[in-house]
Amino acid sequence: MLKQLIIWMLPLLFLGVDYGSGYAQDTDAGKTAYLSSCAPCHGTDANGDGFLNAVLKTPAPDLTHLAKRNDGTFPVAAVTEIIDGRTLIAAHGRREMPIWGFDVMVRSRISLIVDYLNRIQAK
């Protein structure tokens, strides 16, 4: 019950948050979007050690080795489709990772996150 409550309430924490304005020019918008939307499960360094892992059926994966697992090429389309919900991941069960939808502002945040993940891939 607690797990379901956390899963359904987590997206509410981020409603109305402005990810694009009011930040200094040197702020990494992709990292900011990642930290606010992905880090609770995937960890602040994308290593799969987020604080919500304790309530997930399957631990969130390390996102820093996506390119390495894909012959050295970061899978931009695949990652985008997983984040926006077009590709279901068995470990997500009944969509434990919130579906982002197709709103223009949301789509730009997804692009920022995908770009950030691409930049932090392990060499």
The string of pLDDT tens digits covering residues 63-116 is: 999 999 999 999 999 999 888 777 877 666 555 555 555 566 677 888 999 999
All structural domains of the chain with their residue ranges: 2-14+26-119
pTM strictly above 0.75:
no
Name the token pair of 5.
């409550």
CATH topology of domain 2-14+26-119: Cytochrome Bc1 Complex; Chain D, domain 2 (1.10.760)
Cα–Cα distance measured from residue 114 to residue 37, given in angstroms and rounded to the nearest whole number? 12
Among 21, 19, 50, 51, CA closest to 116: 19
4-59 pLDDT per residue, tens: 545 555 555 554 445 455 545 568 999 999 998 899 999 999 999 999 888 888 88
- Residue 24 exposure: Cα atoms within 13 Å on the Cβ side: 2
Single-letter residue type at 110: I
